[in-house]
Structure 1
Amino acid sequence: MSLLSVRNLTKRFGKFTALDGVDIDVKEGEIYGFIGPNGAGKSTTIRVLLGILKATKGEAKIFGKDAWADAVDIHKRIAYVPGDVNLWPNLTGGEVIDLFVKLRGANHQNKREELIEKFNLDPTKKCRTYSKGNRQKVALVAAFASEADLYILDEPTAGLDPLMEQVFQEYVLDMKNKGKSVLLSSHILSEVEKLCDHVGIIREGKIIETGTLKELRHLTRTNVFVETKEPIPSLDNHEGVYDIEAQGQALSFQVDAEELDSVIKHISQFGIVKLESAPPTLEDLFMRHYEQKDESDVGGGS
């Protein structure tokens, strides 16, 4: 059952179409990665989900309720972390955390203390003295200390160092293990890859691909490094092989998943000494989509 359901979501600002027929489904106990470059429409989608913006067309439902008409009810069960947190300058971090947690009717003092320690946050300092990273920590601690059913995280690790990113990932997985749902908007593909069950890629306001990581990987190329006893004649004419680089007796290249078998058979006749293959990353997938889009644009007219 979908906890969050978006159908044909369209949002226009005057003549500019920010969202163009977006569809999203987030199920219970699932982490959904919402990825795309900055300006692709991720934050606009999230503002519609939060009831801050009204959709021009389509529907957005959370817990079966309308995101715009039932925003007050929905907010009782969600926790939201934006990518650029603004806090009350004269309150301390601890006071802000307590305020947000109490608004949701929760009182998990032990959880609060544990999170503050894990995120290495000094809650006694005034918010005006915090760096961007520390402001993010305040929002993350407040979110994870709350009793929410859905966590909407919009570029939540902006400003965090790698160690804190790791702590963040641990808590997101902990939420999933407790049956909570997470919508994680990000342009950091490695983060999405580690955490997400389903992925939707948005570009210029449109969802260009969606599915599980396994389903999406069939579109990507495997990275191969091979060293052979005899030099391999050129692979340039072999179907599905790209970015060939010679390194002495070794070759590195990318190959389409469906051509991997025939390529390995071909190179094995030259006596394989060393063979390394790396599975495709979401980075590869992302760039592949851009290549396809750019190729289709060429000669397409206006």
Structure 2
Amino acid sequence: MNVISTRQLTKRYGRTVALRNLNLEVHAGEVYGLLGPNGAGKTTTLRLLIDVIRPTSGSITLFGEPMSPRLRGRIGYLPGDLVLYDRLTGADYLRFCGAMRSHTDLGEAVRLAKRLDLDLDREAGELSKGNRQKLGIVQAFGHRPDLVVLDEPASGLDPLAQREFHAYLREYVDGGGTVLFSSHVLSEVEQVADRVGILLAGSLVVQDTVASLKANAVRELTFTFAEDVSAASFSGIPGVRDAVQASGTEVRCRVSGAVGELVRAAARFPLVNVTSHEPDLEDIFVHYTEERGDDD
């Protein structure tokens, strides 16, 4: 089942297209990471999904239903530009948010605050950036929503708080919840996301599992031989993007997909060593960004 489904979702501001024909699917019980550089359309997408702004065209379906105000109570949201009332304590702020949602039970919020080492008795104006972010996270999850939408959730969190937050995310999803979050911190997305979408210039250029993206990504293999071997010997091999002569006896190849044909070709020569640079999410992101730049 898809908790989120969009079809040809488009948002324009005058002549500026912030989001273009977005077809996004987020499955129940998964953590979905939305990646993209600044201005890619991540925040616009999240705001459309929670009905803060309305699309120029296209459709949004949540929990199998067209988007409507009635569904808002099933969603938790952390904005990227979180604004707090400085004179309210954390507990007061959570009660205020709960009243707007007709949810008075603060049990889950208090438990999460303790896990994140957040003092709910302090006024928001006294909190550091990291603790303000913790309070925003707590309010997003505090009413036990079915879907949580988070805009750069780890911003300002120290490593210990990040680790605890990521552990809580997994527990929340294992308990039946669904998470969609945006980030430009690639290591965070790789660590916690089940699937990833990459937005560039308002368009979704790829949507897949992290494992599948890495399996099909461009990787680099360096072959060292006992004698001089020309890089031209590897041109035309399926999957090889380019082959560079690093030295007389060393050839560096960039290859996508299976590497069997390349390795067999290298084995025809007196092969001494092979080293492989396995791609991470940063490599994949840069690859798609460069390809998009080439297309433009």
Would you say same fold, with TM above 0.5?
Answer: yes
Partner SS, residue 23 of structure 2: strand
Q: TM-score, normalised by structure 1?
A: 0.85
Measured after TM superposition, the shift of residue 77 of structure 1 is 0.7
Q: TM-score, normalised by structure 2?
A: 0.87
Residue 230 (structure 1) aligns with: 226
C-alpha separation in 2, matches of 1:23 and 1:178 = 27
Aligned residues of 2:133 and 2:155 also touching (Cα < 8 A): yes
Alignment counterpart, residue 160 of structure 1, candidates 148, 157, 161: 157
Partner SS, residue 174 of structure 1: helix
1:136 aligns with 2:139: no
Aligned residues of 1:33 and 1:183 also touching (Cα < 8 A): yes
Alignment counterpart, residue 89 of structure 2, candidates 92, 95, 98: 92
Point out where structure 1 has 5 or more consecutive residues left out of the alignment.
298-302
Measured after TM superposition, the shift of residue 2 of structure 1 is 1.3
Q: Deviations over 1:154-184 (max 9, x none)?
A: 1111111222222221111111101111111
1:171 aligns with 2:168: yes
Aligned residues of 1:231 and 1:249 also touching (Cα < 8 A): yes
Residue 3 (structure 2) aligns with: 3
Q: How many residues align?
A: 290
Alignment counterpart, residue 177 of structure 2, candidates 153, 164, 180: 180
Aligned residues of 1:89 and 1:126 also touching (Cα < 8 A): yes
Residue 23 (structure 1) aligns with: 23
The within-5 A match list for 1:111-260 is 111-224=108-221, 228=224, 230-231=226-227, 233-235=229-231, 238-239=234-235, 240=240, 242=242, 246=246, 254-258=254-258, 260=259
- CA 1:15–1:271: 2 relative to 1, 3 Å: closer
C-alpha separation in 1, matches of 2:181 and 2:289 = 22
Q: Deviations over 1:69-108 (max 9, x none)?
A: x22x111111111223110110012322343345352625
Partner SS, residue 148 of structure 1: coil
Residue 103 (structure 2) aligns with: 105
Partner SS, residue 97 of structure 2: helix
Partner SS, residue 86 of structure 1: coil
